[in-house]
A and B are shown apart, each in its own frame.
Chain A
Amino acid sequence: MSIQISAMTKRFGKTDVLRGIDLSVQKGELVALLGPSGSGKTTLLKIIAGLEWPDAGQLAVEDQDWLQLAAQDRRIGFVFQHYALFPHMSVRDNIAFGLSVRPRAERPGKSVIAAKVDELLHFLQIAHLADRYPGQLSGGQRQRVALGRALAIEPKVLLLDEPFGALDAAIRRDLRRWLRGVHEATGSTTIFVTHDQEEAFELADRVVVMGAGKIEQIGHADAIHDHPATPFVARFMGATVDLPVTLQAGRADGAGLDLTALARRALPDGAARLLVRPQDITPVPDADAPWRIVTRMSNGAHLRLVLIHPDLGEAEADVPRRAVKAEALIPDATVRLKIEGGTIFPRDQPQHATVDTPKTTPTRLESSR
């Protein structure tokens, strides 16, 4: 089922939770809504499910207006972050719930329901848990039951809210691969919400990055990683170091920065900002440079250096601990910063994407190596 969302807004009291969302999802696609908490991604998911209602905008599924349709009639599978299993029902009854509440005329017979549940139990590899109660299951098992319950009604659209949020790292990785398999086997259109970029990129066909009620960027993992559309996306993708630079004839220059690794850019001359990941900064000892190392911490593989500039404040750099010059990078050493890669934005570009004005095309400064 293809989903079309346009000009959708939603307020809770005085907070704008959604500020004009336009999004289309293709049939059979697996899409991630990625963003920090408070970005409106869960609200958007709940609106698609019919558990929340927008203040304005359209929601069409296969050209049918879903805002005229109650949640009961949308036939969606919704998996809650904390699963919301029915504690007084066995796993089998939980999964059968959606079939057993159908109106009598449409309800399958008892044996049909039982067969369907058995099939799902096997498909989800939880057949041995059929007679247990949710309280007796581990987090990963509950997750599977919740998914089974949602799949039992053969949903047109599968919606998952932070599906792995409550699980530990090892189980997460397993379930991620497994969910991808389930999505492919059922062929349903799937949208899931996450704040974990690794999860979004590994699992989804397309990632929708949301921030403060707006869509900041839509794209494939590589594109978002390499070409963040806004400073917000760049930061969210880990480019947390924000350095002021000056552009002249497409060349960037900045205090104590070695920007030779960055290619020329077609941006107007003047003040700009450079967003860089700490691991794309290589400090090079230089007695005349303005940056000074304040602290040096090691996590084994990497050194995290905090650097200070008398006018610009602090910046962080990650350096492999076994790098050739690492021993020289000690507190109080002065260094210049060699920038291996980053994104330049005009000084005056707002932090977030704006709805009214066309986005400035971001310019990735490729490493010339």
Chain B
Amino acid sequence: MSQTYLPGQTRQGERILIAIAVVLTLLFIVAPLAYIFVRAFSEGWRVYAQNILDPATLHAIWLTTMVAIIVVPVNVAFGVVAAWAVAKHRFPGRGILVTVIEIPFSISPIIAGICYLLLYGRQGLLGPWLQANDLQVMFALPGIVLVTMFVTAPFVAREVLPLMQAQGSEQEEAAVTLGASGWQVFRRVTLPNIRWALLYGAVLCTARAVGEFGGVSVVSGNIRGQTNTLPLHVELLFNDLNAVGAFAAASTLTLLAVVALILKAVLEGKRST
């Protein structure tokens, strides 16, 4: 940011605006975050540890991690391939593909969840077939993974696509004339050029995959110790009037988010150099 020096009155106005921004940030972002930890530790370390080590909470942490471990690599691959196809090639339906990539951003996750329920659920379109083949999609890990994948699909593509478009295809063309195969071009030229944007997209994708609530709540069935992801578990504990437990579970999610934020800041710096 460049700072402009303006006459006294305006600088006063500037200060007031900054003060308002700071107060609002403290009030609406920092205070609630801090309060999570205050409440989580309100009955001491021991109770906090007990709550975290509760089997249902541990299972929720494990399940959420599993979902992220499956979803993020798939979406990284999807994002790179989609961005590459759109940025470096001209084909019919290219514009439609760009729009399709954006769809999950504009659809409420809960609607995505309901769509999957209508498609894969017991009464759904594919329900009878799935049942006949003994495949459980809804109210199980596959359903949670599918919905999370849908919701987080655009993150990587959105970061990588503009960069690829700005870079054009000349470097790839140069590599081809020098005899590089398709895979060599990708690994030695395309990938190094997008690596920071790709990591940045992966961090955003992870943060969202871990925190996804609405869509997952429809398809998970909220079975404690089985299909309860961490955000769902927080709500469950809260509804059980176990406030300390809820805040303890929430603190793990918050920590994850803070780590993601720090990574994001670091990567943003790298990306702009």
Contact = CB atoms under 8 A, between A and B. Distances in A.
A98 B193 contact: no
Interface in B173-226: 173-181, 184, 188-189, 192-193
Given A78-B173, A80-B174, A101 B193 contact: no
Interface string A59-97: 000000000000111111110101011111000000001
A85 B175 CA distance: 9
A75 B179 CA distance: 7
24 contacts: A49-B177, A50-B176, A51-B177, A71-B173, A72-B177, A72-B179, A74-B177, A76-B177, A77-B177, A78-B174, A84-B170, A85-B171, A85-B174, A86-B174, A87-B193, A97-B178, A97-B188, A98-B180, A101-B180, A101-B181, A102-B179, A152-B178, A153-B178, A153-B179
Contacts of A50: 176-177
Contacts of A71: 173, 176-177
B244 to A, nearest CB: 50
A84 B169 CA distance: 9
Given A84-B170, A87-B193, A88-B193, A101 B175 contact: yes
A34 B76 CA distance: 45
4 tightest Cβ-Cβ pairs between the two chains A and B:
A98-B178, A84-B170, A101-B180, A78-B177
A355 to B, nearest CB: 28
Contacts of B173: 51, 71, 78, 80, 84
Nearest to A88: B192
Nearest to A98: B178
A80 B170 CA distance: 8
Contact of B188 (A49, A75, A84, A101): A101
Interface residues of A, number: 26
Nearest to A93: B188
A72 B189 contact: no
A97 B180 contact: yes
Contacts of B170: 80, 82, 84
B254 to A, nearest CB: 36
A239 B192 CA distance: 50
Nearest to B172: A84
Interface string B225-257: 000000000000000000000000000000000
Contacts of A195: none
Contacts of A78: 173-174, 177
Nearest to A80: B170
A150 B175 CA distance: 10
A100 to B, nearest CB: 9
Given A85-B174, A86-B171, A152-B178, 4 more contacts: A71-B177, A86-B188, A97-B188, A98-B180
User: Do most interface residues of chain B lie in helix, strand or loop, or is the interface mixed?
Assistant: helix
Interface string A300-317: 000000000000000000
Contact of A72 (B180, B192, B193): B180
Looking at chain A's contact residues, is the secondary structure mostly helix, strand, loop, or mixed? loop
B174 A72 contact: no
Interface in A113-164: 149-150, 152-153
A51 B176 CA distance: 9
Contacts of B181: 72, 101
A145 to B, nearest CB: 12
Interface string A278-320: 0000000000000000000000000000000000000000000
Contacts of B179: 72-73, 75, 98, 101-102, 153
Contacts of B178: 97-98, 101, 149-150, 152-153
Nearest to B167: A87
Nearest to B173: A51
A179 B123 CA distance: 74
Nearest to A51: B173
A74 B192 CA distance: 26
B80 to A, nearest CB: 17
A149 B176 CA distance: 12
Contacts of A49: 177
Nearest to A52: B173
A130 B177 CA distance: 22
Interface in A153-201: 153
From A75, A97, A152, name the one whose CB has the most chain B CB atoms within 10 angstroms: A97
A97 B192 contact: no
A353 B18 CA distance: 68
A338 to B, nearest CB: 51
Interface in B116-154: none
Nearest to B192: A88
A225 to B, nearest CB: 33
A51 B193 CA distance: 21
A149 B189 CA distance: 14
